[in-house]
Amino acid sequence: MTTMNMIEAINSGLDNMMARDDDVVIMGEDVGYFGGVFRATAGLQEKHGKTRCFDTPISECGIIGVAVGMAAYGMRPVPEIQFADYIYPGLDQLVSEAARLRYRSAAEFTSAITVRSPFGGGIFGGQTHSQSPESMFTHVCGLKTVIPSTPYDAKGLLISAIEDNDPVMFFEPKRIYNGPFTGYYDKPVEPWSKFEASEVPEDYYKIPIGKANIVREGDAVTVLAYGTMVHVANAVVEEHGIDAEVIDLRTLVPLDIETIEASVKKTGRCLIIHEATRTSGFGAELSALVQERCFYHLEAPIERVTGFDTPYPHSLEWAYFPGPVRIGEALDKIVGELTS
Amino acid sequence: MAGDNSKTNLPPLSLHVPEPKYRPGDTVDYSDVDIPKAGDQPRPDVSSDPATMREMVYDMVRVLDEDYKAVGPWDPKLSDDTLLKMLKTMAQVRAFDDRLHRMQRQGKTSFYMKSTGEEATSVAAAMALHSDDMCFPSYRQQGILFVRGYPMVDMINQIFSNREDKLKGRQLPIMYCSRRLGFFSISGNLATQYPQAVGWAMASAAKGDTRIAATWCGEGSTAEGDFHSAMTFATVYNAPIIMNVVNNQWAISSFSGFAGGERTTFAARAAGYGIAGLRVDGNDPLAVYAATQWAAERARTNNGPTLIEHFTYRAEAHSTSDDPSAYRSAQEREEWPLGDPITRLKRHLIHRGVWSKEQHEALDKECIEAVKVATKEAEKNGILGHGLHQPFETMFQDVFEEMPWHLKEQSEQANKEREIKWPDAEASK
């Protein structure tokens, strides 16, 4: 075991996989000699060679399209899109090509690619470095979407994603690369080294895709969250002394519906939290599923706490962020009768 | 608000919207189309610096002259056998297209696309490649499958989406796929295969393989970002790839001017990327073969990518879904200055003394008969129509390698609906 932040854990997972499998190649803007703008690929080119980890032109369409072609050859490319906000020029290659290739070729060709991309706000990145576009990809049949919330999970899930024979969108919550975030922007960040989830094996291990993690058990309300919002949710329920069950989804598609269903049937209440914009966000899907499956167990309306339906603002970032106040109000609505 | 030009005396701006020279009913005169003399084009060494061969992108590699003789440095000097194979394959493709087009008109399938007049750009090109080089075609390169020996019955099964369709009835007719024959799954989205082909070529190079990649798109889809991304990646990594632009003058109803063809050639796109570019008479099968052979040798010797523009003419409709008489002059096809690729090769072989009109007539009959036989065989497996050719569960397979719970649930729903929608089929099960 070594203490790692999320970047170091991702780097370690990539390194393990490159050592185990010659077909794993990393490509993206600035990922080679420099090691990536967030340092996720630091040292990998030097260690594994220039044809295994290389810089690309600034062309997301080209990066994804070339990765699809490399996968058709038999490789396992792990392209990095520098910010999730930049992914749109590559959308056709993801939606119409990578996601559909297995189906349209009756499995003669597949796209075993893992698209890594930092996402989410809270770093004063403005509207082009803060977006959470995950629901655009969960809507696409044929793509898996994975979002880790700790260094330990990030490495184990990334290895599973790379070994998966289907295309995986691997969104990394960049606000928590260096330490978990409680939603209070004015409090100092505590580094990952202070938390147990920073204990990461240097060797290969996997966390299965499609399995959620109950990070806090409780009976009063089920809180569904992923990425950065898992930590914010935890901090808020602790602060309010609510006996909440917090579930870190880890994977949005395929979703661990069993864990969600069992929890909501137990608690009878459900709060859904994500940083992404509200309308047609993944919370809408979660809300519908919980209603369809747990309606007769529900004791209060399902609540959603999300980002607002505006572009991510720069100076008003903390007014936008779905932090403790918005979550607290929603919890009041759902469990108010329990706490009052 | 309009700007104020009063201080400058400039005329107001005007927007240029391209317009083709000829519309339905117009008399066509192609005398202004510059067709260089066959045999006049220099053949640079395959390792040439693209900067030293820039004139090639405005020229036109041509081998067959007006007397159907093969002339000049680009003559690939092919054996009679090879040329006869080329001729027979092109004739077979044409006969196939004619019959399958008719089958669509008879209601046996939803869609078809002919390659009439453009057969050389896939048949001659594929023959100049190694059989294990990887092809990333667009939708009008069925000729590649004929060269590589894909059975016509399997093609027709796909066109009919019947129970023997290897793609399980999932794809629009003619969107073939054959991993075994190095033929990538055809996408309906245009030019997406371009960066994929470059990626495959990069992988082959990274692995120290000997195989190269070839890809095709129409002149219209060179406007897609994918084309330019592919060109950038190809030049950056010196990828072993041949990028073919089949300039057949028309993208459905939009003439090549809407892809920039009024200002320059499509081969000239290569120059800006520092990629070797060749512009070829696409109706001259020997020129297409020679250019592909040159580009393949260049790629295979680590000298990098080549862009080839095949200057040709789409002799028929874009697909069964459009009527070209509604947007272009019917005279275009008759007046096309580069003739027809099959006729030209036929006359060349007659000129060589190894072929005759009678033999060609017999060949055409044989080709028609072969398609008939294949069609009848395929029809036994069903034609498109009632949606029950494939095992029902195939609708939900291959979305992912393993079927997740939500697809299992939806599959159950579909099965329940099936009993209501097709009770007779259920009873006969």
Q: Do A96 and B192 touch (CB under 8 A)?
A: yes
pLDDT at B338: 97
For B37-94, the pLDDT digits (tens) are: 999 999 999 999 999 999 999 999 999 999 999 999 999 999 999 999 999 999 999 9
d(CA B271, CA B294): 17
Mutate to test the interface with A, among B202, B397, B402 (most CBs of A within 10 A): B202
Our answer to whether residue B314 is catalytic in this structure is yes
Cα-Cα end-to-end distance for chain B: 71
Residue from A103, A140, A166, A253 whose CB has the most chain B CBs within 10 Å, to mutate: A103
**Which run of H or of E encompasses A221?**
strand A221-225
Amino acid making up residue A127: Q
The CATH superfamily label for domain A2-200 reads: Thiamin diphosphate (ThDP)-binding fold, Pyr/PP domains (3.40.50.970)
> Secondary structure of chain B: what % helix, strand, coil (to 5)?
45, 10, 50
Enumerate the domain spans of chain A.
2-200, 213-339
pLDDT score recorded for residue A121: 95
To the nearest whole Å, the CA of B336 is away from the closest chain A CA by 36
Report the mean per-residue pLDDT for chain B. 95
Active-site residue, selected from the candidate residues B211, B269, B310, B314: B314
Residue corresponding to tokens 């949606």: B387
Tens-place pLDDT, residues B85-133? 999 999 999 999 999 999 999 999 999 999 999 999 999 999 999 999 9
Q: Which residue has the higher pLDDT, B43 or B9?
A: B43
pLDDT in tens, chain A (340 residues): 899 999 999 999 999 999 999 999 999 999 999 999 999 999 999 999 999 999 999 999 999 999 999 999 999 999 999 999 999 999 999 999 999 999 999 999 999 999 999 999 999 999 999 999 999 999 999 999 999 999 999 999 999 999 999 999 999 999 999 999 999 988 888 999 999 999 999 999 999 999 999 999 999 999 999 999 999 999 999 999 999 999 999 999 999 999 999 999 999 999 999 999 999 999 999 999 999 999 999 999 999 999 999 999 999 999 999 999 999 999 999 998 555 4
User: What's residue B419's pLDDT?
Assistant: 87
Instruction: Tell me which chain B residues have a C-beta less than 8 angstroms from the C-beta of A104.
Output: 167, 170-171, 175, 177, 185, 187
Is B327 one of the catalytic residues?
yes
- Report the percent of chain B where pLDDT is more than 70: 97
For the question of residue B148 being annotated catalytic, the response is no
What does the pLDDT look like over B353-382, one tens digit per residue? 999 999 999 999 999 999 999 999 999 999
Distance from CA of B243 to the nearest CA of A (A): 14
Residue B13 burial (CB count, 10 A): 8
Instruction: Establish how many alpha carbons lie within 13 A of residue A267's alpha carbon, considering only the half-sphere containing its beta carbon.
Output: 30
CA–CA distance, A149 with B145 (Å, rounded to integer):
49
Give B356→chain A minimum CA distance, Å: 42
List the single residue in A56, A70, A97 with the smallest CB-CB distance to B192.
A97
Confidence class for position B386, pLDDT limits 50, 70, 90: low
Task: Round to whole Å and give the CA distance between B143 and A291.
Answer: 54
A and B: number of Cβ contacts within 8 A: 140
CATH 3.40.50.920 correct for A213-339: yes
pLDDT value of residue A62: 98
Q: How far apart are CA B399 and CA B402, in angstroms?
A: 8
Same fold, A2-200 and A213-339: yes
The percent of residues in chain B predicted with pLDDT above 90, rounded, is 93
pLDDT class for B156, splitting at 50, 70, 90?
Answer: very high
Distance CA A262, CA A244 (A): 14
CATH superfamily of the domain spanning B50-379: Thiamin diphosphate (ThDP)-binding fold, Pyr/PP domains (3.40.50.970)
Give chain A's radius of gyration (CA, Å): 19
In chain B, which residues have their Cβ closer than 8 Å to the Cβ of A142? 399-400
**B363 Cα to chain A: minimum distance (Å):** 34
